[in-house]
Structure 1
Amino acid sequence: MQTDRQTPEGTSTVADAPPDNWVDRHAPPDWRPWLRLSRADRPIGTWLLLLPCWWGIGLAMMADGPEWRDLWIAVACGAGAVLMRGAGCTWNDITDRDIDDKVARTRLRPIPSGQVTVRGALAWLVAQSLAGLALLLTLGGAAIALGVGSLALVAIYPFAKRFTWWPQVFLGLAFNWGVLLAWAAHMGNLAPAPVLAYLAGIAWTVFYDTIYAHQDADDDALIGVKSTARLFGTDTPRWLAGFGAASVLLLALAVMAAAPQGLGLTLGLLGVVGFAAHLAWQLWRLKMTDSATCLRLFRSNRDAGLLVALFLALAGLV
């Protein structure tokens, strides 16, 4: 696939990509626009899509015991997160192409900067989606049904900021679906534990994506795009404290639903305590008018989610 315009290397790098990201340093030049379109230069989104999947596996192991198949589920979820996050971001950039060129942080993305055509982006979207489907087909009937069902959420999300002040909720609905899918891949059904964890993940997403959205609040106000960052305004810390508390409580209930007693319960709850401490640290460090701080705190949620995933895995193995 060819791009329709090559920009100089210094200007083609997207504004919020880490300066040492592997795409800009090591990927072949012809592939960089496509990898940037999939946000491969910004892996935090892949982590935030993957971690709820690993929560689902950990909760299923706590409830039913570990199986060798769980290793494949974890690997498939990892590869699937890369592919489907890439597909989702490609779809997002296609739908936002007339908005991204008006926002400082996004105007150098591949489509608004002219590095990739809309037609080429659609082909890239289809290629990633088909690869993701191939992985999904290995995870069993219940997981396949859930995976197909998630497509509606992915399709709707990019439009949410045009009709609601709560687009972060729509992001949470899509990004945390993996906890249901991974549980179903192990168990073949659904139960209260993954549903509670799903709700916890939605509250967590509102928490971290509101922090992220504060980077664009001024530009969003100029072009009329809605977000919880604009809705909450100076009351953001109070709102985030509420969503953080809701996420912690729901996650604790999910752990107790999966393992009502024993060492597994203790380990799972320790992970929730670590998660709570991390969210509290983020609130303490938050400076809503400092874009660099907002981006750094947003990215730190990988570590918050990993704490939970690690302790749930340990709880499932004991």
Structure 2
Amino acid sequence: MPNTAVPPQLKTRLMDYAVLLRLNRPIGTLLLLWPTYWALWLAADGMPTISNLVVFTLGVFLMRAAGCAINDFADRKVDRHVKRTKDRPLTTGRIHPWEAVALFAWLCLVAFLMVVFFTNSLTLYLSFGGVVLAFIYPFMKRYTHLPQLFLGAAFSWAIPMAWAAEAGEVSRLAWLLFTANVLWTVAYDTLYAMVDRDDDLKIGVKSTAILFGDGDRAIIAVLQSLVVLILLLIGRQAELGYFFYVGVIAMACLFIFQQHLARFRERDGCFKAFLNNNWAGFAVFLGLVIDLT
């Protein structure tokens, strides 16, 4: 029988690409996916079209992978000084910088073509903003202590796009949802940045975790509170019911749990608090789906 096993060299190469695109760590995709689904379900009043559901699900996957590729390209020299990232394929030279840039461009092109062929002109125009945000975010940590704010905008841009695809416009509710998600992203990515704070201080990389200093947990709590309040406002304006509010309350309870996990500001606790945000986003989505159904 012919040997159909993947050659070891090719297998290693594919594994390096998977790590570069974070296929082994879906948390970023999920954190991007839940708010996109919030927008689709709200804009469609509970019945998003199959085509939009497929386009935006695949788009989230593609753009998150593209963002990881350009992020590692931007950080290829500093990642070697950070404990969590020193073994990444681009940092160690197992993947060349031009390959990361080429993957970023190819993934963005595929996502763009899906928008061109399966959505409307407003969504198409908005997509250019998404590509710009995905490209510039990784470089912001060299120039500002607020790179998490740029990540928030990048992670939230799918909201007006999804709304435009479903409703043909971007309403005030969509921008309220966008604002809530930007604040939420800043909160959870600050928890993520607290994991690397000691290393970042040594190499001069900026973040909100460094900017907030000893006030980090308090400011995160304020941001999380604002997220809950804006979601409650959205529920009132959209005339949503009991189940949506249960989902938002569940998110608030998970935020309190995250504060507990990060109470000592230890790497492991902060990282667990960051990961817990997946369930916070899912809780709101589940409540929204049940309510609109």
1:12-63 CA deviation, whole Å, 9 max, x = no partner? xxxxxxxxxxxxxxx933211111111111110011111111010121133x
Q: Tell me what 1:283 maps to.
A: 259
Q: Tell me what 1:214 maps to.
A: 194
Matched to 1:254, the amino acid is: I
Following the alignment from structure 1 to structure 2, what is the Cα–Cα distance between the partners of residues 202 and 192? 15
Following the alignment from structure 2 to structure 1, what is the Cα–Cα distance between the partners of residues 115 and 87? 33
Name the count of aligned residue pairs: 285
Q: Say which SS state the counterpart of residue 42 (structure 1) adopts.
A: coil
Q: 1:289 to 1:278 in 2, by over 3 A?
A: closer
Matched to 2:120, the amino acid is: G
Q: Tell me what 1:93 maps to.
A: 72
| Equivalent of residue 226 in structure 1, options 193, 202, 206 | 206
Q: Tell me what 1:145 maps to.
A: 125
Q: Say which SS state the counterpart of residue 89 (structure 2) adopts.
A: coil
Matched to 1:282, the amino acid is: Q
How far 1:210 moved relative to its partner?
0.7
Preserved contact between residue 82 and residue 199 of structure 2 (Cα < 8 Å): yes
Following the alignment from structure 1 to structure 2, what is the Cα–Cα distance between the partners of residues 146 and 303? 28
| Equivalent of residue 34 in structure 1, options 9, 17, 28 | 17
Is 1:303 the counterpart of 2:279? The answer is: yes
| Equivalent of residue 78 in structure 1, options 51, 54, 57 | 57
Following the alignment from structure 2 to structure 1, what is the Cα–Cα distance between the partners of residues 74 and 262? 31
| Equivalent of residue 240 in structure 1, options 220, 224, 244 | 220
Report 1:10-89 matches (<5 A). Answer: 28-62=11-45, 66-67=47-48, 69=49, 71-89=50-68
Greater than 6 Å deviation, 4+ residue runs: none
1:124-156 CA deviation, whole Å, 9 max, x = no partner? 222212221222221222222211221221122
| Equivalent of residue 102 in structure 1, options 75, 78, 81 | 81
Q: Say which SS state the counterpart of residue 98 (structure 1) adopts.
A: coil
| Equivalent of residue 166 in structure 1, options 133, 146, 156 | 146
How far 1:102 moved relative to its partner?
1.5
How far 1:256 moved relative to its partner?
2.2
**Alignment root-mean-square deviation, CA:** 1.8
Is 1:129 the counterpart of 2:108? The answer is: yes
Following the alignment from structure 2 to structure 1, what is the Cα–Cα distance between the partners of residues 31 and 17? 21
Percent identical residues: 36
Q: Tell me what 1:114 maps to.
A: 93
Q: Structure 2: 5+ residue runs without aligned partners? A: 1-7
Q: Tell me what 2:177 maps to.
A: 197
Q: 1:203 to 1:288 in 2, by over 3 A?
A: farther
Matched to 1:194, the amino acid is: A
How far 1:288 moved relative to its partner?
4.7
Q: Structure 1: 5+ residue runs without aligned partners? A: 1-7, 10-26
Following the alignment from structure 2 to structure 1, what is the Cα–Cα distance between the partners of residues 92 and 58? 28
Matched to 1:225, the amino acid is: V
Q: Tell me what 1:292 maps to.
A: 268
1:69-107 CA deviation, whole Å, 9 max, x = no partner? 1x3322222211111111111111111111111211111
